Amino acid sequence: MQNVDLIVLGAGIVGAATARELKKQFPSLNICLLEKEPAAALHQTGRNSGVIHAGVYYPPGSLKAKFCQQGLVDTINFCQCNSINYEQCGKLIVATSELEQQRLQDLHERCLQNDLSPQLLSQKQLQEMSPNIVGKEAVFIKQTGIVDYQQVTHALLDEFVALGGKVRYGFCFNEVEQSNGKVCLFSDVDKVSAKYVVNCTGVMSDRVAKSFDMTLDFRIIPFKGEYFVLPSKYNNLIDQLIYPVPDPSLPFLGVHLTKMIDGRVSVGPNAVLAGAREGYGKYDVNIFDLFETFGFAGFWQMIKQHKRSVWDELTQSLFKTKYLTSVQKYCPQIQLSELLPYRSGIRAQAVDNNGTLIHDFKFLASDTSLHVCNAPSPAATSALPIAREIVNNVKLNLTSL
Ligand SMILES: Cc1cc2nc3c(=O)[nH]c(=O)nc-3n(C[C@H](O)[C@H](O)[C@H](O)COP(=O)(O)OP(=O)(O)OC[C@H]3O[C@@H](n4cnc5c(N)ncnc54)[C@H](O)[C@@H]3O)c2cc1C
C-alpha cells in the first residue's frame, strides 16, 4: 500500500491543473494523481471542441463567467510558456431568424456585462467577414480561440511531475474507507491512503462523491455530443468559429462549425442522452448506467421540462438530414455526403432532484475530501482558475497536514 499526503483522482484537465497547482503551492507535500485509464485526457478533455471560450453566455457574477474570462488569459499564457499551438481566431454567433435576432441582442448585452468587446454585425458586414456564412445579423467576439486540450493536459502533468508529483495510471477507484482523518482509496488490486482527496472524475464524480458519503441533491446525466468532420477542401471555409444562437434555457451551445487547431473543420456537437457514461459508439449501452439514470426522478422531470429540445436533438441524432439542416441554416453549401464520421464526446452534466440542469460549476467539500461535481463546458478553458479555487478551498485542511 502506498501512503501519500494528498490524492487527486482523475487525470482530465481539471485533475491535472489541480495536481499542478497543489504541488506549486505545497511543494513539500507528497501528492499523487490516480487515473483509471492508461493515459491522461481520454474522456471529456480529449473529446471536446477545443475552443478557448471568452465567456459570452454566462450570468455576470457566476463562477462560469469569472473563471472562463480568467481561464482564457491563463490558457493563452500557459500555451505561450509551453510552446503549445493555439489561435485566437474569434467567434461569430449568427442569427438566422427573428427570434434568434432578439436573443442575439440579449447575448450582445451579456457580452458587454462580461467586459468583452462584442461587435454587432449587419447582414452585409457578416457577409464581408465570413463570405460562406449566411445570417440576418451576427455578433463577433474576437477573443475566442482554439487549442488541443489533450496537449495542454499533458503539459500540465509534465510540470506536476517535474515539481515532484507522482502520476499512477491504471488505478480505477471503486471504494473508500475513512477513519481517524485518513482516507484509503481501493481499486480492485491495490490501495492508496492519504489525508485528503480531491475528486476530479468528470462523468463519474457523483458516484465517487456518493461513496464518500457526501449528501447529493443532483446526479450526473451523461449527454453525448456527436460530431462530423468536413472534407479537407473545406479547411479554409471559415476564418472564425461559427455558432448558432443557443436556447438560453439550455447549457449546450448548438451545432457549430469549429476550425480545429489541426486545420480541419468539425461540425457539432448535438446533445443526446448517452446510453453509457463512457460509451462513445452511437448505440453503446451500459445497463447499469441506464438503470441509474432512469431511476433518478430528476431525469424524468428534466425530460418533461425540455420535451421539445429532447425530441429535436434525438431526431437530429437519428437522421443525418436533420443534422444537416441545422448547419445549412448558416452554411448552405455543406452537403450530406460531406458530413464525415468523427469522434463523439460525453458531457458530465449535473441535474438536480427537480430536473433543473445545473448551469454553474459546483463543488462539495468535507474535512477530508473535495468533489468537483459539475464541471461541464467551459471547464477546459477554465481549468487553471478552477484549480486555484479548489486549492483555496482546501487550504485550511492542507495547512494542518
Ligand atoms: C462534446 C464536448 C465539447 C466540449 N467543448 C468544450 C470546449 O470547446 N471548450 C471548453 O472549455 N470545454 C468544452 N467541453 C467541456 C470540457 O471538455 C470539460 O468540461 C472538461 O474536459 C472537464 O474536465 P475533467 O477533468 O473534469 O473531466 P474528464 O476530462 O472527463 O476527466 C475525468 C477523468 O477522471 C477519470 N476517472 C473517472 N472515474 C475514475 C475512477 N473511478 N478512478 C480513477 N479515475 C477515474 C477518467 O478516466 C478521466 O480521465 C466540452 C465537453 C464535451 C463533452
256 lines ligand 1 (CB under 6 A): no
Residues 328 and 93: their CA atoms lie apart, in Å, by 15
The answer to whether residue 191 is domain-embedded is: yes
Name the pLDDT band for 252 (thresholds 50, 70, 90). Answer: confident
Q: Which pLDDT score is estimated for 308?
A: 86
pLDDT at 251 over 70: no
Query: How far, in Å, is the centroid of ligand 1 from the Cα of 28?
Result: 28
Give the mean pLDDT of 17-26.
97
Average pLDDT over every residue of 126-154: 97
3-state secondary structure of 315: helix
Q: What's residue 186's pLDDT?
A: 97
Atom of ligand 1 nearest to the CA of 380: 11
Mean pLDDT of the region 355-376: 96
pTM of the model: 0.97
Q: What are phi and psi of 382, to 5 degrees?
A: -95, 5
Q: Which residues contact 320 (CB under 8 A, 6 or more apart)?
A: 336, 339
Q: Is residue 344 in some structural domain?
A: no
Question: Which domain does 199 fall in, by range?
Answer: 2-45+150-218+360-399
Of 216, 210, 398, 385, the residue nearest 297 (C-alpha): 216
DSSP annotation string for 117-168: --EEEEHHHHHHH-TT---SEEEEETT-EEE-HHHHHHHHHHHHHHTT-EEE
- Note the pLDDT tens digit of each residue in 149-196: 999 999 999 999 999 999 999 999 999 999 988 999 999 999 999 999
Alpha-carbon distance of 26 to 360, in angstroms, equals 28
pLDDT tier at 240, thresholds 50, 70, 90: very high
Pick from 172, 148, 179: nearest CA to 13: 148
**160 is a domain residue:** yes
Whether residue 398 has pLDDT greater than 90: no
Task: Count CA atoms within 13 Å of residue 101 on its CB side.
Answer: 9
Partners of 119 in the β-ladder: 140
Any domain includes 364: yes
The overall average pLDDT reported for the chain is 95
* Nearest 10 degrees: Cα torsion 55, 57, 59, 62: -40
80 or 320, higher pLDDT:
80
Question: What's 78-102 look like in SS3?
Answer: HHHHCCCCEECCCEEEEECCHHHHH
Of the listed ranges 143-157, 242-256, 320-334, the one predicted with least confidence: 242-256
Q: How confident is the model at residue 277 (pLDDT cuts 50, 70, 90)?
A: very high
Q: Which of 45, 57, 270 to mutate to test the pocket of ligand 1 (most atoms within 8 A of CB)?
A: 45
Sorting pLDDT into bands at 50, 70 and 90, what band is 401?
low
Q: Is 164 left (phi over 0), alpha (psi -120 to 50) or beta?
A: left
Residue 255 has pLDDT above 90, yes or no: no
Share of the chain above pLDDT 90, in %: 89
User: Please, which pLDDT band fits residue 312 given cuts at 50, 70 and 90?
Assistant: confident
Ligand 1 center–CA 236 separation, angstroms: 29
Cα atoms in the Cβ-side hemisphere of radius 13 Å centred on 301: 12
* CB distance 141 to ligand 1 below 6 Å: no
The predicted pLDDT at position 318 comes to 87
- What pLDDT is attached to residue 276? 97
Which stretches of 221-319 are DSSP H helices? 287-294, 297-305, 307-318
Ligand 1 atom closest to 172 (CA): 42
CA angle 84, 361, 308 (to 5 degrees): 105
Is 27 inside a domain boundary? Answer: yes
Residue 195 lies in a domain: yes
Residue 316 domain-assigned?
A: no
Total structural domains within the chain: 1
- Please enumerate in sequence order all residues whose Cβ is within 8 A of that of 226, keeping only pairs 6 or more positions apart, or say none: 268, 269, 270, 272, 282, 317, 344
Residue 135 pLDDT greater than 80, yes or no: yes
Please give the pLDDT value at position 400: 61
Other CB atoms within a 10 A radius of the CB of residue 332 amount to: 11
**pLDDT score for 343:** 95
Q: Find the Cα–Cα–Cα–Cα dihedral 179, 289, 221, 71, rounded to 10°.
A: 60
CATH of the domain at 379: 3.50.50.60
Which residue is listed with cell 455578433?
139
Ligand 1 mutation target, pool 7, 146, 211, 377, most atoms within 8 A of CB: 377
Question: What pairs with residue 99 in β-bridges?
Answer: none
Atom of ligand 1 nearest to the CA of 11: 49
The pLDDT of residue 250: 73
Q: Please indicate, yes or no, if residue 199 is contained in any of the structural domains.
A: yes
Q: What are the two backbone dihedrals, phi and then psi, of residue 244, each rounded to the nearest 5 degrees?
A: -75, 175
Mention every residue, 6+ apart, whose C-beta is less than 8 A from residue 342: 227, 228, 229, 266, 268
Count CB atoms within 10 A of the CB of residue 370. 24
